[in-house]
Structure 1
Amino acid sequence: MPNPLPPAGPQRTLSLAQLSNSVGDGAYYVTSALYFTHVVGLAPARIGLGLTVAWAVGSVAGVPIGRIADRRGPRGTAVLLALATAAAVASFLVVRDFALFVAAACLYATAQSGLAAARQALLAGLVAKEERTGALAHLQSTLNAGLAVGAALGGLALSAGTTQAYLAVFAVDALSFLLCATVLLRLPAVAPVPGERGAKLEVLRDRPYTVVTLLNTVLLLRMPLLSLGLPLWITERTEAPEWLVSALFVLNTGAVMLFQVRTARSVNGISTAAQALRRSGVLMLLACAVFAVSAVNSPWGAVTALVGGSVLLVAAEMLHSAGSWQLAFDLAPAGRIGEYQGFFGTGVTVARTLGPLLLTALLVGWGTAGWLLLGAVVLAASYALGPVARWAAGTRQEAGHAAAVAVNQGQGV
């Protein structure tokens, strides 16, 4: 088994930064809904509206913030965004009305989206190209470990059920981002990339990369599947016990911690990324078919099918993660990593925003047919990513050739 620790140096420091704030994120994810209802005093519908608005703002802001990371330097940008996230979480401790809640949530979502893009640009500047997917696999494993620890802390707050316990969790979350900023400062600075004043965001005109991002967003529907789709399916359509929801989350988190690095080792270019994505699509279709079978009049039969489907789901997730990371980096032009990663990351926001509505309609409303349709759509998107990625790579080669010809002509060659 590969070493679970990333290599010493920038990769390990990046992992420590990831670990520090993912502990806070895990606690936040577990407790935020009840905190905003019980402590802040907001109605669930208003919470949903506010968070939807916030993540919509954050997804739009991620691209220009990524551009700033390229032009001003990713390390300093990442540190400032970690501090902004800490400030946003700290503001939740005192916010008690809807307007201020939306403002704090917009700051939180914007800082989080920008931080993800700046970190990717920072990694690109500190890690050799051939090592980036492996480095991201280590970061993903670290992320899951931190989320697990944070979720446990959040669970303690939920058990206590007191205002003080909830406030303590949010304070820990804010402190975790302060620690993240401190760790990021230990990294070497990456020189900013000079650019033309007022230059437009190139990624918005890059049609091949846009199509890659859209197709990847379809594959990202697996994210709300684990957090919302399966829990609803289990409680509404199966005879399985409700505690299985937690068990399946632990299964997913543990598998990623143990096997994501090993899975990513086989992905080292566009062709191997496309192969991993195709395999991910096949496994996703099989997982959906097995989940559909869990609607049987037998608790043990339902549990068996749900566990089997979850194993297929996490295997598909790890292959998809490795393949999408490789494409996102390989297809981003040098000097615009932050900008392009900011745009690619909008797929996560779209999947988290629209995914719950889509999955609820498909799975709870359509049942078995919904599962099979979901699997078929994901499979089609996974197979389409290979040709589209080759198209995108071809446009990069053409642009590079045109630039070389222009230089030679200018030199009189």
Structure 2
Amino acid sequence: MPAVGPLRPLALATLLSRVGNGLLMTISVLYFTRIVGLSIAQVGLGLTVAGLFGLLASIPFGHLADRRGPRTLFVVLSLLLSLLALLYLVIGSFWQFILVASAVTVLDRGSNAVRFALIAGVTQGAERVAARAYLRSMTNIGVTAGAGLGAVALSFGTATAYRLMFVVYVVLGVAAALVVLAVPRVAPHPRADGPVWIALRDRGYLAVSALNAAISIHYSVIDVAIPLWVVEHTDAPHWAAALPLIVNAAGVAALQVRASRGIVDTVSAARATRTAGLLLLASMVLFATASVGDAVVAVVVLAVAALVQTAGELLQSSGSFLLGFDLAAEHAQGQYQGVWNTSTSVSSMLAPSVMALLPLGLGVPGWIVLGGWFALTGVLFVPIVRWAAARQLVVSR
């Protein structure tokens, strides 16, 4: 547990909200198709459109957090997000779904950028990495617990059970928002001289954000590529498709804080990300190898691959925690976190297509290409981060 202070209510709020997120992740698609009556194609298109609108939200809301202060803005956005989700209970058409999903996604992306600005405002230096690590552990625990609650609704399969889960999501979201009121207020930053959109002019930060987006594609390996790969290309029993996800979720929840302790500056963060890229390469090779042996060999290889992939993820995420904060201008953390959040959102949108094209489309060669991409991106972090940090130092003078 984090020490007594602003991080503790943030951790509790994260746990509560992520339980709600895990719940909706489990039931939402089935609710929209079975209860609302939308097709799978309509749900996919609606979420894609909503995601595109969400890309436009992070930077403006982050900038607003700089000007007005992040704590109250985060509480307001979180309350609006929770209450707006109630509209899912009354939608009855595809266009209504698009409108509500777009509004929810805009508030979700915006509040996430403001949340990062709040973390930056109540922590300093290496404390920020530890804070993000604690909160990521809470995220994994919460999503797992929420998925368990969602499974209860799925077992009943009734419209009432599905709708009740949306109500639970709203209650958890409101409670999480109110808990954040225990976090000290962060003073807004006055407008500095020079251009307003400073983060969009910071070429060093934009370059590192792009690299982070490129390597963050690995987050979709476990939940997008592995289930289909295990079922269609290996002799492992179908239950083994869940094994890497379980290993990953447990590893991140238990070890994220420990993995972040050695990352104290941009140099160590870049080196950790380089190591992460090489570990991700090794794990991609292992996942590909699972298609060669019999059922027992496949299960063992999948488990080992998941352990190696989780080690890479722990280092990559810890490095990104520090780089996203330390390479940003202190007076515009909200705006910079909006840029960082936007880059990861782009990565999340592109990742399923990459999975379909490379490992699922090309098979073993696709896995090797994907691993090489991660390794190359990780290696590039060291020189690019060095350049961005040097450029930041010159600008600050």
Match in the other structure for 1:174: 170
Pick from 353, 356, 359: which aligns with 1:357? 353
Contact 1:270 1:327 in 2 (8 A): yes
State the shift of 1:107 in Å: 1.4
Match in the other structure for 2:364: 368
Contact 2:57 2:109 in 1 (8 A): yes
Match in the other structure for 1:76: 72
Aligned partners of 1:127, 1:135: CA distance in 2, in Å?
8
Aligned partners of 1:198, 1:89: CA distance in 2, in Å?
39
State the shift of 1:297 in Å: 4.9
2:390 corresponds to which letter in structure 1?
Answer: G
Contact 2:243 2:302 in 1 (8 A): no
Match in the other structure for 2:334: 338
The CA RMSD measured in Å over matched residues stands at 1.4
Match in the other structure for 1:405: none
DSSP 3-state at the match of 1:243: helix
Contact 1:88 1:105 in 2 (8 A): no
| 1:399 matches 2:395 | yes
Pick from 241, 248, 258: which aligns with 2:237? 241
Aligned partners of 1:216, 1:175: CA distance in 2, in Å?
34
State the shift of 1:164 in Å: 1.3
User: What percent identity do the matched residue pairs reach?
Assistant: 38
Aligned partners of 1:196, 1:272: CA distance in 2, in Å?
30
1:68 corresponds to which letter in structure 2?
Answer: L
Q: Aligned in 2, Cα 1:133/1:365: closer, same or farther, shift over 3 Å?
A: same
Aligned partners of 2:31, 2:193: CA distance in 1, in Å?
44
DSSP 3-state at the match of 1:191: coil
| 1:34 matches 2:36 | no
Aligned partners of 1:20, 1:128: CA distance in 2, in Å?
25
Match in the other structure for 2:92: 96
Q: Aligned in 2, Cα 1:388/1:255: closer, same or farther, shift over 3 Å?
A: same
Match in the other structure for 2:147: 151
Aligned partners of 1:168, 1:296: CA distance in 2, in Å?
45
1:105 corresponds to which letter in structure 2?
Answer: A
DSSP 3-state at the match of 1:185: helix
Pick from 18, 22, 25: which aligns with 1:22? 18
Aligned partners of 1:138, 1:10: CA distance in 2, in Å?
12
Aligned partners of 2:36, 2:92: CA distance in 1, in Å?
5
Match in the other structure for 2:217: 221
Pick from 2, 17, 21: which aligns with 1:6? 2
Return the TM-score normalized by structure 2: 0.97
Pick from 259, 265, 275: which aligns with 1:269? 265
| 1:58 matches 2:54 | yes
Contact 2:287 2:301 in 1 (8 A): yes
Pick from 107, 116, 134: which aligns with 1:120? 116
Match in the other structure for 2:106: 110
Q: Which runs of 4+ in 1 moved over 4 A?
A: 196-199
State the shift of 1:128 in Å: 2.1
**Residues 73-115 of structure 1: per-residue CA shift (max 9 Å, x gap):** 1001101110121023211111121111111111111111111
Match in the other structure for 1:326: 322
DSSP 3-state at the match of 1:200: coil
Match in the other structure for 1:258: 254
Match in the other structure for 1:295: 291
Match in the other structure for 1:160: 156
Q: After the TM superposition, which residues 311-322 of structure 1 pair with which residues of structure 2 at under 5 Å, given as runs?
A: 311-322=307-318
State the shift of 1:171 in Å: 1.3
Contact 1:62 1:113 in 2 (8 A): yes
**Residues 350-394 of structure 1: per-residue CA shift (max 9 Å, x gap):** 122111111111112111100000000111111111211111111
Contact 2:126 2:322 in 1 (8 A): no
Aligned partners of 1:185, 1:332: CA distance in 2, in Å?
26
Return the TM-score normalized by structure 1: 0.94
Aligned partners of 2:243, 2:160: CA distance in 1, in Å?
28
Aligned partners of 1:274, 1:304: CA distance in 2, in Å?
31
Q: Aligned in 2, Cα 1:115/1:394: closer, same or farther, shift over 3 Å?
A: same
Unaligned runs of 5+ residues in structure 2 are none
State the shift of 1:198 in Å: 10
How many pairs does the alignment contain?
A: 397
Aligned partners of 2:153, 2:241: CA distance in 1, in Å?
19
1:43 corresponds to which letter in structure 2?
Answer: S
Between stretches 27-36 and 346-355, larger displacement belongs to: 346-355
1:242 corresponds to which letter in structure 2?
Answer: H
Contact 1:56 1:349 in 2 (8 A): no
